[in-house]
């Protein structure tokens, strides 16, 4: 198999892996920690662990995407390639950090069940841990994801490694994510509104992942830098 085709396939698979792991992992974790008393019981602890593992898989996939795309992007613009790699590594670090809060809740829950901590102490510590996770997952991760995505789609548009409609779609979708984050600083957006802003980039990355696996990069664009 052509090395560029193989790289495109790996990148596409990692995009799909990151998207599934992020959505499913985040959904499982939030379903547990969003409970009113934040208590992690034996029944939902397994769900929480699976969710955290999926979030770590997402972080690994993000680094994998950045590393593989760096080798392709640097042929066209090394500065943008380095910037993309850097932003995505920072994003991956934050994606790993968000599992700290649910881990803390698991520890707090065990102490709570052993009656070694008061209800007030548990609630306060739980609220602080969840608030820290929300700040990272709701603001820092989207910002660094968006900065990296802007570089990626801009270079894809210039290089024509993929059809330009994918790049334009991605750029518009990323701007919606940035707008959503700016709005969230002023007002509390509901899940429905947030999904409206996030859906275009979700669909874009799924479509792009499948395209990369099936079609790969545009051969003429790749060969032009060979």
Tokens of 204: 């874009």
Give residue 118's pLDDT. 57
The 3-class SS string of 90-120 reads: HHHHHHHHCCHHHHHHHHHHHHHHCCCCCHH
Give residue 39's pLDDT. 63
Tokens of 73: 């992007």
Give residue 47's pLDDT. 87
Which residue, among 13, 65, 10, has the nearest Cα to 210 in the 3D structure? Answer: 13
Report the alpha-carbon distance of residue 220 to residue 226 in Å, rounded.
10
Give residue 8's pLDDT. 94
Give residue 48's pLDDT. 86
Give residue 37's pLDDT. 63
Give residue 183's pLDDT. 84
Report the alpha-carbon distance of residue 98 to residue 150 in Å, rounded.
23
Report the alpha-carbon distance of residue 224 to residue 226 in Å, rounded.
6
Q: What is the pLDDT along the chain (226 residues), one digit of tens a residue?
A: 577 889 999 999 999 999 999 999 999 988 888 776 666 666 688 888 899 999 999 999 999 999 999 999 999 999 999 999 999 999 999 999 988 888 877 777 766 666 555 566 666 666 777 777 888 888 889 999 999 999 999 999 999 999 999 999 999 999 999 998 888 777 777 777 888 899 999 999 999 999 999 999 998 777 666 5
Taking the domains of the chain in order of start, what are their residue ranges?
3-144+206-223
Give residue 190's pLDDT. 74
- Give the residue carrying structure tokens 């947030």: 194
Which residue, among 161, 134, 37, 148, has the nearest Cα to 92 in the 3D structure? Answer: 148
- Give the residue carrying structure tokens 């698991």: 106
């Amino acid at each position: 198999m052509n090395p560029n085709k193989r790289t495109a396939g790996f990148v596409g698979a990692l995009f799909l892996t990151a998207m599934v792991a992020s959505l499913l992992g985040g959904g499982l974790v939030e379903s547990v920690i969003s409970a009113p008393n934040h208590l992690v019981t034996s029944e939902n602890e397994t769900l929480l662990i699976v969710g955290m593992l999926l979030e770590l898989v997402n972080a690994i996939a993000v680094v994998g995407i950045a590393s593989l795309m760096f080798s392709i992007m640097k042929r066209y613009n090394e500065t943008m390639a380095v910037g993309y790699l850097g932003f995505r590594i920072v994003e991956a670090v934050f994606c790993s950090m968000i599992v700290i809060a649910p881990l803390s809740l698991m520890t707090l829950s065990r102490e709570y069940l052993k009656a070694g901590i008061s209800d007030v102490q548990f609630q306060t510590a739980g609220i602080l841990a969840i608030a820290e996770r929300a700040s990272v997952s709701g603001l820092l991760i989207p910002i660094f994801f968006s900065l990296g995505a802007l570089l990626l789609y801009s270079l894809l548009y210039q290089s024509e490694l993929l059809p330009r409609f994918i790049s334009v779609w991605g750029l518009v979708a990323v701007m919606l994510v940035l707008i959503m984050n700016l709005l969230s600083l002023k007002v509390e957006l509901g899940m429905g509104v947030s999904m409206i802003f996030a859906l275009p980039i979700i669909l874009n990355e799924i479509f792009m992942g499948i395209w990369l696996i099936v079609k790969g990069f545009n051969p003429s664009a790749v060969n032009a830098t060979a």
